[in-house]
A and B are shown apart, each in its own frame.
Chain A
Amino acid sequence: MALLLKTTRFVESQIDNFLDMVSDSATTFQLAIQDYLAGRIDQFEERLAQIRELEHRADDLRVSIERFLYERTLIPENRGDVLAILENTDEVIDNIKDSLVQFSIEMPEIPPELNDLWIQTTKASVAAVEQLVFAVRSFFRDLAAVNNYIHKVYFFEREADQIGEKLRRKIFGMKIELSRKSQLRFFAIHIEKISDAAQDVCDRLAIYTIKRQL
């Protein structure tokens, strides 16, 4: 039983570390976009490297948690649900990384008049991810609070969609080449997709929460 308690504490800390990484990735993503828009490309690349590292470590951590849950037959009833949550949350980091990698490869030229909307969309998406992290933490520790956080995730996802739509309208209202418009739209959608991924996790989380309730 002492061994089981030790394992339990260890897995608990691993799950917390994993969620810390998701939260850190979202914050770093926002800073990276701000750096990019301000033209601090070196700093942007450093942030991208940090996110790559976080994504890599999060992957390893997730696999390790999965292995512990199965090898030690912990939470047999909720094991599948927890693994699905972790895997889907991991995809949020993947989305964040992919978005920044695309910036790094294509280096799109963003007209300065779009900066404000661009940052607002990013902030809304990042807020959705942060609320998702709270929701997942609550799923483990405070079931009654999960729905509040899920509600917030949905709110910020809608916010990201609305501002993203404004951003895309503004892009296509500008007198620039169509190919450039198309490229900027691709990047705007990529940022919105981060909040969509957070919403997908919440859809599952809502069901798993009902399942966990007695």
Chain B
Amino acid sequence: MFFFYLLSGLFLGWSLGANDTGNIFGPAIETRMLKFKSAALIASIFITLGAVFEGSGPSGTLGKLGSVDALGGAFTVALAAGLAIFLIVRTRIPVSTSQTIVGSIIAWNVFSGRLTDYRSLLTIAASWVVAFVLSGVIAALLFYIVRPLVNRSKLHLLRQDLVVRFGLIVVGAFGAYSLGANNIANVVGVFVPVSPFKDILIGSHFVLTGVQQLYLLGALSVVVGIYTYSHKVMRTVGKDLFQLSPITALIALLAEAIVLFLFASQGLYNLLLSLGLPTIPLVPVSSTQVIVGAVVGIGLAKGGKNIRYNILGKISLAWVTAPVLAFLISFATLFVMQNVFELKVQQEANYIFDRNSITKIVEDGFDSAALSTVNGRSFKTEHDIYNELNEEHLLTRNEIMKIIKIAELYPLKIELVKLNNTGMHRRFTEAQLQVLKRYEGKTYQHKWQFKRELTKHNEFKRYAAPANEREKNHNRMLDGKLEVLYRSFSDLDGKN
């Protein structure tokens, strides 16, 4: 059954390969600096390396699909996202894969009565503008810097061609590596906790972990996407929107790499924090929006006459259409899967306002008077609670969502063997694992109960009121780790 569920993840991987490779190698191929076969080979190698060796990072979460709590739901959501990407890519327009996945997840939220955080929707909408403008400005600046250098260069035309070609390969390979590292968790991350793969010892030193094997499988699906369908969007990015030359193609790719590195790299963010330097805010940018912004930036820097605004309009429209389409497909498919195929697409959720939860809610600073209508009651969906609490108009939506998180019943049974089986124990320090060992066999009804226990220890220390960016980041990283623990120790099925 696992492999059947995994199929939709692999389909999503395939559509990721078809959609995102054009962002990295489209300009190089369309300017004929690289042959499709060579580009596909380089992309395949580096995406696989990125996925296997740096997939989702050492302390990251398991990807966006992680919020979907039943495997059948994750299967459907991934299938819908993959299908939406595939349908848009068929029209030769590149879309943002992660935003399409979010569209699909929101459908699951609505279907299963969960509340959606509107801020995440706002962030997506903002990133359409931010990523586009940011990369456009950087590409235009790069263009203004490079133009006099190239025009006054004494490098032989053929040697210049070689340098540009080399640059396109290096930046492309770097982009492919990042694509593999950052996106593989979105493709198969959700299957990590139920993966049957066991660690394989290769030689006497090298271990290919179960997670790495799963990521390798995901990466292979991306590779198939590259070879079979990625040529569809390459022309749009590299030629149709604005006729790039090899040098401007390299500038566009460099701008893309800079924007993704500066504004979307958790690694750089952590490095700056550890060095005590000011950080650059992390923006949820999509490589598709960044490359399109870069191409338009260069087009405008060259006078703006040759940009094909009708293509730009189509692309912008697709950025809105893709998540909406994913939402619709996802919602319809979830309905069919649950009612026709009787597939379990969500865990049965329970929310209880007993003495424990009410005490915690009050401890967290909420007024108990606002809880009078729910006190002592239990609920099946977040929407029901929201409707009850919202009638009083005493709480904001954000506050209600926090209260719901506290009331949520999420049975946990601490068994370290589950972490070891999936290789997730590598995300924790030895000291943290020692702390976890003390809780072996214990059970909890709410996530916050387990969190409260853990955060008493220095190894899981959380800043109650983070004063600076370093402390905020520490909390974010810790929350990521806690999320991994919740998922790994989940006893929602009661099978443990």
- Name A's B-contacting residues (CB within 8 A): 1, 4-5, 8, 11-12, 15, 73-78, 82, 139-144, 212-214
Contacts and interface: CB of A to CB of B under 8 A. Distances in A.
25 contacts: A1-B169, A4-B165, A8-B158, A11-B158, A15-B158, A73-B32, A73-B35, A74-B161, A75-B157, A76-B32, A77-B245, A78-B157, A140-B158, A141-B154, A141-B157, A143-B153, A144-B152, A213-B150, A213-B151, A214-B147, A214-B150, A214-B151, A214-B245, A214-B247, A214-B248
Contact of A8 (B35, B161, B248): B161
Secondary structure class of chain A's binding surface, majority of residues? helix
A142 B158 contact: no
B157 A139 contact: yes
A77 B158 contact: no
Contacts of B246: 76-77
Contact of B157 (A82, A144, A213): A82
A141 B155 contact: yes
Contacts of B169: 1
B234 to A, nearest CB: 15
Contact of A144 (B151, B245, B247): B151
Given A5-B162, A214-B247, A214-B248, 8 more contacts: A8-B161, A8-B162, A15-B158, A73-B35, A74-B158, A75-B161, A140-B156, A144-B151
Main secondary structure of the interface of B (DSSP, over half): helix
Contact of B143 (A5, A78, A143, A214): A214
Nearest to B149: A214
B224 to A, nearest CB: 26
B109 interface: no
Contacts, number: 57
Interface centre among A82, A212, A214 (most CB of B within 10 A): A214
Contacts of A212: 157
A12 B161 contact: no
B162 A143 contact: no
A141 B156 contact: yes
Contacts of B32: 73, 76-77
Interface in B116-166: 143, 146-147, 150-159, 161-162, 165-166
Nearest to A209: B151
A214 B146 contact: yes
B321 interface: no
B31 interface: yes
A4 B162 contact: yes
Contacts of B176: none
Nearest to B32: A76
Given A12-B158, A140-B158, A76 B33 contact: yes
A202 B154 CA distance: 20
A141 B157 CA distance: 6
